[in-house]
Structures are given as structure tokens and as C-alpha cells.
């Protein structure tokens, strides 16, 4: 058992018990190893691992990161060691810790997504899968799926057949109607949703006139993304009845509370992990204090509070 926390913080989503509702989001916490030097991994509510693909992938050429006011642009592009090495080296290692693990699965074709998700499920070492159909930094896969509800639903149904674990689908706000997307993905068998991925963006060095990122565009994360995430969660929570993990610019307990009040059942911390490895745990503790101050017996009482008329 990791660090005990007050029962008020415990939440359950898709039959998975979380010590607190604060997870760490994909690609911002490695696969936990580097961070384990700074904190007990059992202190976070859950870990969402970095995207894994069938074969090793180098990602995009550098520079791949650029800081902008209120956020970060990244064009990492799914760099990872491939599913076999991930299972043997990373997931097996992560299993030593008492913390639920969502594995973020990516691919460059339908078959690849299905194969990787099936291998993760068969390994018996993951608690859930997060299907990454919203990476803005790859030319195939990624946003191709999440800009078409039909394509997203088709892939979700294919992957659902291949797995025996709760299947979360990660969506982008860069879509004509995120509500329609969420409804179609739920109909296709998704067990939960992760909202939202980074938003496609670009920065230019005016001295040279060249793009800051070698890939030209990247994904915007951090505080600039937060209000977009709140709206996405708010809209989607009203049209689906599967759990939502809200994410996007969570910088403090207030941002986490906001996403929960908009309708998220749990929240993931992303870019802030680069600044403060203990952020998710600290935010969970602060959220617990807020819930206590407001007289809530469980943080789950925050979920969807805004639609229920707020705190009366």
C-alpha cells in the first residue's frame, strides 16, 4: 500500500480504486522510473504511461519543445521503445508499485492499435488502456482518427474487441463537435474518456523567420489549455455516462476542482510534472482540504457540481 490518504480523497472509476483523483498524464511522467527518485509512485492516484507503439519510434527531430507564455509547445511525436521492450522493462517494473496504471496506446494504422492494445491487455500488467487517437504530432494515426467521429468509433470498436480491460479514449478539442465525437466513441464501446490532448499550435522566431519547432507545429499544453479543457469536459459530461479523466493545464487544486465541477470523475496533471514532480500528490492533498472545508464527505461530490446548481 502506498501512502495512506484520507478516505475523502478515494475515488472509483471503471471498477478501479484510486487513492485520490489525481493521475499523471501521458508523456509527462515518463514511465515513472525517473520520477520514482523523487516520490513514492503510490502517492499519485494513477499513472498514465507514455504512448507506446508496436515498433520502436524515434519521434520527431529536435527542437521539439518551445515554451510560450502560459504554456508549452511539444512535437515529441510518439518517441518510445516499442511495445515488447515496454512490457518487459517498464510495465513489469511499474507493477511493483501499488498504483493503477493506464497504458497510452498509439499507432500508425488500425492494425497497429489493435495489436498493441491486445498485447497490453494480455500481459495482465495494466489496469486500463488509454487509446491515443489525438496526438497532433504525427502524420498518420493521431488526429486523423479524432477529427472524424466515424473513424474514431470504428477504431474504438476494433480495439474494444481485442482487449479485456477498461478502454479509455483520449480526445482532442481540435474537432468540429467534441460532443458528437464522445457520443460515437461511447456507442462504439469506450469505457471512459480522457479529455483533452494538446491543441495544435505554432511559434515563429521572428529574427530568423523560421518555425521554433523542427516539426513546424506542435501541441500546446499548460495553463493556456485549461479553459478549453474545462469547456470540453463540461460539454461532453452532458452527453455521455462513462467516466471522464479531465486534463489540460492543471496547475493547482482549483484547476482540478474546476474540471471535476465541470464533470470530470478524475483529473490528470501534465506539464506541471516537469516543474514539480510531486505536483499531483500535492494537488490531491489540497483538493482534500478544500472538500473538507466545504463539508463534503467525498471529493466525488464535486463531480458535475456546476450542472447541479453549484454549492448551495
Ligand X SMILES: Cc1cc2nc3c(=O)[nH]c(=O)nc-3n(C[C@H](O)[C@H](O)[C@H](O)COP(=O)(O)O)c2cc1C
Binding-site residues for FMN: 26, 50-51, 104, 132, 170, 196, 222, 248-249, 270-271
Site of grid cell 474540471: 259
Q: Distance between CA 86 and CA 125 in Å, rounded? A: 11
3-state secondary structure of 52: strand
Reply yes or no on whether 57 is catalytic: no
**Which x/- pattern over 98-137 shows residues binding ligand X (rule: CB under 6 A)?**
------x---------------------------x--x--
Binding residues for substrate: 50, 74-78, 132, 197-198
Strands annotated E in 133-272: 167-171, 192-195, 199-202, 204-205, 210-211, 217-221, 244-247, 266-269
CA 49 to chain centre: 9
Q: CB-wise, 202 or 292, nearer to ligand X? A: 202
**Which x/- pattern over 135-174 shows residues binding ligand X (rule: CB under 6 A)?**
x----------------------------------x----
Binding residues: 26, 50-51, 74-78, 104, 132, 170, 196-198, 222, 248-249, 270-271
Site of grid cell 491486445: 118
Asked if 215 is part of the footprint of ligand X (rule: CB under 6 A), the reply reads no
User: What are the distances in angstroms from CA 263 to CA 178, 195, 240, 242, 291?
Assistant: 15, 11, 10, 11, 16
Q: Distance between CA 286 and CA 141 in Å, rounded? A: 38
Stretch that binds ligand X, among 89-97, 219-227, 231-239, 275-283 (CB under 6 A): 219-227
Q: Report in angstroms how near the CB of residue 201 gets to ligand X at its nearest.
A: 12
- Beta pairing partners, 72: 67, 221
Binding residues for ligand X, how many (CB under 6 A)? 25
Asked if 27 is part of the footprint of ligand X (rule: CB under 6 A), the reply reads yes
CA 151 to chain centre: 20
**Which x/- pattern over 31-50 shows residues binding ligand X (rule: CB under 6 A)?**
-------------------x
Q: Distance between CA 121 and CA 185 in Å, rounded? A: 19
A 10 A CB-CB count for 176 gives: 9
Out of 53, 121, 146, 221, the residue judged to bind ligand X by CB under 6 A: 221
Stretch that binds ligand X, among 86-94, 116-124, 242-250, 283-291 (CB under 6 A): 242-250
Out of 9, 44, 225, 291, the residue judged to bind ligand X by CB under 6 A: 225
Count of alpha carbons within 13 angstroms of residue 251, beta-carbon side: 10
**Which x/- pattern over 249-288 shows residues binding ligand X (rule: CB under 6 A)?**
xx------------------xxx-----------------
The catalytic residue among 120, 135, 259, 279 is 135
Cβ atoms of residues 198 and 221 within 8 Å: yes
Cβ atoms of residues 159 and 114 within 8 Å: yes
User: What are the distances in angstroms from CA 111 to CA 54, 115, 144, 301?
Assistant: 10, 6, 15, 40
Residues that bind ligand X (CB under 6 A): 25-28, 50-51, 72, 74, 76, 104, 132, 135, 170, 197-198, 221-222, 225, 247-250, 269-271
Enumerate the active-site residues: 135
Amino acid at each position: 500500500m502506498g501512502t495512506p490518504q484520507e478516505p475523502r480523497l478515494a475515488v472509483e472509476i471503471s471498477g478501479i480504486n484510486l487513492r485520490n483523483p489525481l493521475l499523471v498524464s501521458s508523456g509527462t511522467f515518463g514511465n515513472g522510473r525517473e520520477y520514482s527518485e523523487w516520490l513514492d509512485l503510490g502517492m499519485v492516484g494513477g499513472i498514465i504511461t507514455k504512448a507506446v507503439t508496436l515498433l520502436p519510434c524515434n519521434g520527431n527531430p529536435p527542437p521539439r519543445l518551445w515554451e510560450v507564455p502560459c504554456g508549452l509547445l511539444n512535437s515529441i511525436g510518439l518517441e518510445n521503445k516499442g511495445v515488447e521492450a515496454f512490457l518487459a522493462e517498464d510495465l513489469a517494473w511499474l507493477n511493483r508499485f501499488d498504483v493503477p496504471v493506464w497504458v497510452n496506446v498509439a499507432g500508425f494504422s488500425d492494425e497497429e492499435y489493435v495489436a498493441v492494445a491486445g498485447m497490453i491487455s494480455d500481459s495482465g500488467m495494466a489496469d486500463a488502456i488509454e487509446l491515443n487517437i489525438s496526438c497532433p504530432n504525427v502524420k498518420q494515426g493521431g488526429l486523423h482518427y479524432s477529427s472524424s467521429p466515424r473513424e474514431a468509433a470504428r477504431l474504438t470498436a476494433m480495439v474494444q474487441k481485442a482487449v479485456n480491460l477498461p478502454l479509455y479514449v483520449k480526445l482532442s478539442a481540435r474537432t468540429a463537435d467534441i460532443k458528437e465525437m464522445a457520443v460515437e466513441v461511447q456507442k462504439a464501446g469506450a469505457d471512459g474518456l480522457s479529455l483533452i490532448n494538446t491543441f495544435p499550435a505554432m511559434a515563429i522566431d521572428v529574427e530568423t523567420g523560421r518555425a521554433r519547432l523542427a516539426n513546424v507545429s506542435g501541441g500546446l499544453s499548460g495553463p493556456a489549455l485549461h479553459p478549453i479543457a474545462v469547456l470540453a469536459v463540461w460539454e461532453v459530461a452532458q452527453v455521455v455516462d462513462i467516466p471522464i479523466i479531465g486534463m489540460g493545464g492543471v496547475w493547482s487544486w482549483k484547476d482540478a476542482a474546476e474540471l471535476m465541477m465541470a464533470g470530470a470523475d478524475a483529473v490528470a496533471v501534465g506539464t506541471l510534472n516537469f516543474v514539480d514532480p510531486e505536483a499531483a500528490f500535492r494537488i490531491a492533498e489540497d483538493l482534500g482540504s478544500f472538500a473538507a472545508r466545504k463539508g463534503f464527505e467525498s471529493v466525488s461530490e464535486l463531480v458535475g457540481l456546476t450542472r447541479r446548481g453549484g454549492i448551495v
